[in-house]
């Protein structure tokens, strides 16, 4: 892994944003996150000072993350301990200057909570982009996500829920029921929405930072100076998997295969376009996950930019089947067979080979 100045600066910014998010939460009357509540129960029950509790917790959760990922322990296991001190320093400094909103009503308290949640979503994605160590608790959630083949946000859902359950159990052991286990509105809000916010920011942020792989294909004899920048067409394509199979659409009239998806409408976000097109072409509703690769095809008359996303089915049964209208047929094909099919299927359609080669590049560089 190459560590660049850009990644170090973004990583440092992420540490500040995480510290700021905690400082914002502590300046409200809405309680704390489930992980912080869990630490508070240990702090009150043992008791053990935070300067000892935080590093011990970091080492334990990094150990669990390595165990879940089945990785050998390395010196980087202890790096999150340093991170915890950095974030803690940011919190201490900002609490000296950050206005408290305890008594300012629901609006200001809610605004602080929304801002804190946004900062966490941005910060954690900046760290993932930099490929430097996450804080211990988030490394634990990431390990869960990778083991279960989920997005980081979905892993965070599981982690926050586990922390909530653990907080109640530890609270019962130490008798903190009268303090509601130190849980609050923030706890429930984070459990329900923090994972969503993390996934929401992932694709746009990586797109801005050029963190998504790009593949460029030039038509014969076309030079970079000949690129048509006036007629630039964007579209979104879905890689939908079920067990070891991938959903391909077979165009029966023109005899070629493609991934579901289509062109964007004016000002339409890529993710919204993909949901609309997949429903239109297949009848399935989907959850759009991570963007995997961008394929750009340069021709004399136009440039086509295809964004490939992993997506999951929300409904297992087709709700609105328009396949007959488009003369399409759904094919669930083994991953490797799908790659071979896109690369070798013979079609007489004028653009069929070009379409399948584009899908082949998008698929093989995503899996």
What are the tens digits of pLDDT across the range 101-120?
888 888 999 999 999 999 99
Q: For residues 184 and 63, what is the distance between their CA atoms, to the nearest angstrom?
A: 29
Residue 104 sits in the same domain as residue 246 = no
Q: Are residues 42 and 16 in the same domain?
A: yes
Residue 38 has a pLDDT of 87
**Tally of structural domains, the chain:** 2
Which residues are paired to 235 by β-bridges? 263, 306
* Three-point CA angle 156, 160, 164, nearest 5°: 170
Which domain-ending residue is among 208, 229, 252?
208
Spatial neighbors of 101 by CB under 8 A, at least 6 apart, are: 27, 28, 29, 108, 109, 111, 112
Q: Which residue range forms the structural domain that includes residue 274? A: 213-364
The verdict on 20 and 169 lying in the same domain is yes
Helix (H, G, I), strand (E, B) or coil at 297: strand
Task: Indicate the burial class of 299 (C-beta count within 10 angstroms; 0-12, 13-18, 19 or more).
Answer: middle
pLDDT of residue 155: 94
247 and 262 share one domain: yes
For residues 279 and 201, is the Cβ–Cβ distance under 8 A?
no
Residues 190 and 230 in one domain: no
Residues 44 and 157 in one domain: yes
| Measured CA angle at 91 (ends 82, 113), to 5 deg | 120
Q: Which pLDDT score, from 0 to 100, does residue 85 have? A: 75
Whether residue 203 is found in the same domain as residue 218: no
Give the phi and the psi of residue 354 in degrees, each rounded to 5: -60, -45
CATH of the domain at 254: 3.90.79.10
162 and 224 together in one domain = no
Q: What is the pLDDT of residue 130?
A: 92
Regions in the chain scoring below 50 on pLDDT: none
User: CA 352, 354, 360: angle at the middle one, nearest 5?
Assistant: 100
Of 157, 192, 208, the one marking the end of a domain is 208
Cβ(123)–Cβ(17) under 8 Å? yes
pLDDT at 76: 67
> DSSP letters of 145-196?
HHHTT--HHHHHHHHHHHHHHHHHHHHHHHT-GGGGGG--HHHHHHHHHHHH
Cα-based distances in Å from 331 to 33, 135, 265, 266, 282: 44, 42, 27, 30, 11
> Which has the closest alpha carbon to 309: 328, 327, 289?
289
Angstrom CA distances, 198 to 115, 247, 273, stand at 13, 27, 20
pTM (two decimals) = 0.85
- Residues 197, 224, single domain; the answer is no
The answer to whether 272 touches 280, Cβ cutoff 8 Å, is: no
Give 279's strand partners: none
CB contact set of 37 (below 8 Å; sequence gap of 6+): 31, 163, 167, 181, 182, 183, 184, 187
Are 148 and 274 in the same domain?
no
CA 85 to chain centre: 26
**CA 305 to centroid of chain Cα atoms:** 22
Predicted confidence (pLDDT) per residue in 326-335, tens digit: 678 899 999 9
Nearest residue to 106 via CA among 51, 181, 28: 28
């Amino acid at each position: 892994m190459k560590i660049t100045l850009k990644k170090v600066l973004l990583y440092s910014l992420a540490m500040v944003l995480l510290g700021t998010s905690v400082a914002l939460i502590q300046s409200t009357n809405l309680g704390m996150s489930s992980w912080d509540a869990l630490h508070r129960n240990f702090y009150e029950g043992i008791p053990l000072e935070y300067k000892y509790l935080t590093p011990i917790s970091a080492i334990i959760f990094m150990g669990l993350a390595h165990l879940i990922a089945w990785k050998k322990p390395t010196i980087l296991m202890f790096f999150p301990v340093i991170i915890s001190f950095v974030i803690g320093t940011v919190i201490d400094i900002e609490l000296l200057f950050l206005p408290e909103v305890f008594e300012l009503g629901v609006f200001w308290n809610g605004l602080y909570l929304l801002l804190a949640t946004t900062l966490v979503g941005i910060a954690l994605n900046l760290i993932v982009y930099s490929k430097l160590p996450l804080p211990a608790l988030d490394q634990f959630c990431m390990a869960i996500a990778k083991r279960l083949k989920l997005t980081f946000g979905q892993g965070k859902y599981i982690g926050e829920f586990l922390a909530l359950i653990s907080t109640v159990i530890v609270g019962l052991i130490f008798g903190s029921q009268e303090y509601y286990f130190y849980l609050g509105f923030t706890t429930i809000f984070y459990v329900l929405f923090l994972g969503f916010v993390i996934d929401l920011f992932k694709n746009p942020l990586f797109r801005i930072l050029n963190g998504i792989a790009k593949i460029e294909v030039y038509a014969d004899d076309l030079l970079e100076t000949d690129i048509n920048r006036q007629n630039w067409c964007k579209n979104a394509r879905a890689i939908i998997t079920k067990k070891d199979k991938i959903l391909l659409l077979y165009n029966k009239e023109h005899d070629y295969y493609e991934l579901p998806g289509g062109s964007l409408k004016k000002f339409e976000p890529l993710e919204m376009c993909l949901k609309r097109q997949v429903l239109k072409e297949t009848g399935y509703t989907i959850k759009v996950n991570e963007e995997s690769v961008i394929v750009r095809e340069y021709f004399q008359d136009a440039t086509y930019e295809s964004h490939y996303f992993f997506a999951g089915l929300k409904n297992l049964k087709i709700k609105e089947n328009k396949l007959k209208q488009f003369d399409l047929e759904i094919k669930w094909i083994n991953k490797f067979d799908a790659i071979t099919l896109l690369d070798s299927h013979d079609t007489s359609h004028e653009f069929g080979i070009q379409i399948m080669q584009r899908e082949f590049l998008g698929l093989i560089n995503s899996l």
